[in-house]
Structure formats: C-alpha cells, structure tokens
Amino acid sequence: MSAQDFRHPLKRARGLGSAQSGLGYWWSQRVTAAVLVVLGLWFVAMVLSLLHIDFATARAMVAKPWNALFLILFVVTAFWHVTLGLHVVIEDYVHTRWREVVLRMVVTFLAVLGALAGVLAVLRIVLRA
Amino acid sequence: MADTQRPLSPHLQIYKWQVQMVTSILHRATGIALAAGLFLVVWGLLALAAGPAAFAYFKNFVGSAPGIILLLGWSWSLFYHLCQGIRHLVQDAGVGYEIPQFVCSSWLAVLTSLVLVALVWAYALFVGGVA
C-alpha cells in the first residue's frame, strides 16, 4: 500500500476544484456586459456622427468632455470584458497547462496595452483641442 | 492535447445542429472577432491623436475593400454579440429557459442583429459611404 492511499480525500481534491474566485469573475463579466450594452450603442452612434467630417471637426467632437469620458469608459470596459471572455475561451480549449497560462498572460498584456493606448490617445486629443 | 486527468465533456460532433447551439457558438466567435476589432478602434483614436496624415491613412484603410469587409463583419459581430448578450443577461436572471422560449429568443437575437446592422449600413450609405 502506497503512502498516497492514507491521504485524506480533501488533500487530493485541493487544486482540482473551485479556485474560489468564480463568483467575482462571473459578476465582473456580467456588469461589464451590461455597461457595454449602453456604451456599445453610444459608440456606434458616435462613429456614425463622425462620418464625412473633416479632421479638425472630428477631433473637436472627440474632445468634448462627455464624448471623451464615454470613449475612455468604452475602451477600458471593452478591453476588460475582452480579457474576461478570452480567458474563458482559453481555459475551455487549451488543456496544456503552460500554454494556457502563457496565452492568458499574452491576452491580459495585449488588453492592458490596448486600453492604455486608447486612453492615452483620447487624452492627447483632449489636451490638443 | 490534454495533460490533465479530468473528464472532458463531449464536443461538437456528438450533437445534432440546432439554432440555440449555433447562436451559442456564434456568440463566442463574434466575441473573439470583436476583441480583434477593438484594436481598430484604438488605431483610429491613435491616428486622430497623431495628426491629419495618420488619420487620412486610417480612413483610407477603412474605406478600402478589405477595410469595408472587416467593418461589415465587425459591425454585424457587434450587434449580434450585443443582442445575444442581452439574451444571456435575461437568462442569467432565470427567465426564458423553456425550450420553445429558448429557440424563439435565439432567432429573435439573430434577426434583431441583422435588422440593426442593415439600418446602420443603410444610414452610412445614405450619407455617402464610410470613408
């Protein structure tokens, strides 16, 4: 009889079951989703209003306080939602642990990069307008 | 592929194709497409911040044939993911789980997304194209 057989079942279950962060994750995804319903529709309207106007007018539009605020909110919330969603996709389909961890980190890194670039761009537009 | 000893659920080839399955798959696929599309948004903002030349280059890409195709795909993905997302939020509240309701809401999400994307492109064409 090997030593492993004397272990309490809980010892073997640890690390295989719930990681305890599921509920917080679930809520973040739903709250960002609900916010993006509103911001997504607003963003489409914003883009449509920018069609066929010249560069200076487009910049002035984006630089308006409410527009700039909602654009920053949209970019940050969207990248947050993307990170949560893509992490689930990776966890579902990538079953080799090191690949899963690396891919998740790549997604997080690119999302942070994208969100910061977007926010910085809006701030530059606001400051120059 | 898998290096764990945990059981895997049966995959696509096991099931009969039905609308609520296709909408579920499309929700994921459009989500992944939208993740890529978000970088186009960032590019647009960066171009607008950089100056007229960079913005003209961006508009030129968006107005090109590949740009229009991507925009068509992304705009439909956005509306589909949005409609389907609302359906999922309603289901998260515990509503609409009877099979006929489930099938009906699937079709409703698909049709609404098509109507919305058609309206947006009709407006864009009405004001004279996208770029």
A83-117 pLDDT, tens digit per residue, is 999 999 999 999 899 999 999 999 999 999 999 99
Q: Indicate whether A129 pLDDT > 80.
A: no
Is B78 within 8 Å of A44 when comparing Cβ atoms?
A: yes
% of chain A surpassing 70 pLDDT: 90
Interface of A with B (CB under 8 A): 16, 30, 33-34, 36-37, 40-41, 43-44, 48, 51-52, 55, 58-59, 62, 71, 75, 78-79, 82, 85-86, 89, 95-97, 114, 117-118, 120-122, 124-125, 128
**B27: in domain:** no
B12 domain residue, yes or no:
no
Residue A51 DSSP SS3: coil
3-class SS of residue A20: coil
**Is a pLDDT exceeding 60 seen at residue B1?**
no
Identify whether B117 is part of a domain. Answer: yes
* Chain A residue closest in CA terms to B128: A52
Q: Is residue B72 part of a domain?
A: yes
pLDDT attached to residue A22: 78
* Inside any domain, residue B95: yes
Domains (range + CATH), chain A: 24-128 (1.20.1300.10)
* Contacting residues of A for B89, CB less than 8 Å apart: 30, 33-34, 37
Q: What is the pLDDT of residue B20?
A: 87
Identify whether B119 is part of a domain.
yes
- Give the separation between CA A119 and CA A13, rounded to whole angstroms: 43
- CA-based nearest distance A20→chain B, Å: 18
- Whether the per-residue pLDDT at B122 is higher than 90: the answer is yes
How far A55 CA lies from chain B's nearest CA (Å)?
6
Does B16 fall in a domain? no
The total number of structural domains in chain B stands at: 1
Across chain B, mean pLDDT equals: 91
The residue ranking higher by pLDDT, A6 or A94, is: A94
Is residue B5 one of the residues assigned to a domain? no
Each residue of A54-85: pLDDT tens digit?
999 999 999 999 999 999 999 999 999 999 99
pLDDT digits (tens, 9 = 90+) for B20-52: 889 999 999 999 999 999 999 999 999 999 999
Domain span at residue B100 reads 64-126
With a cut of 0.85, is the ipTM above it? yes
Label residue A24 by pLDDT band (50, 70, 90). confident
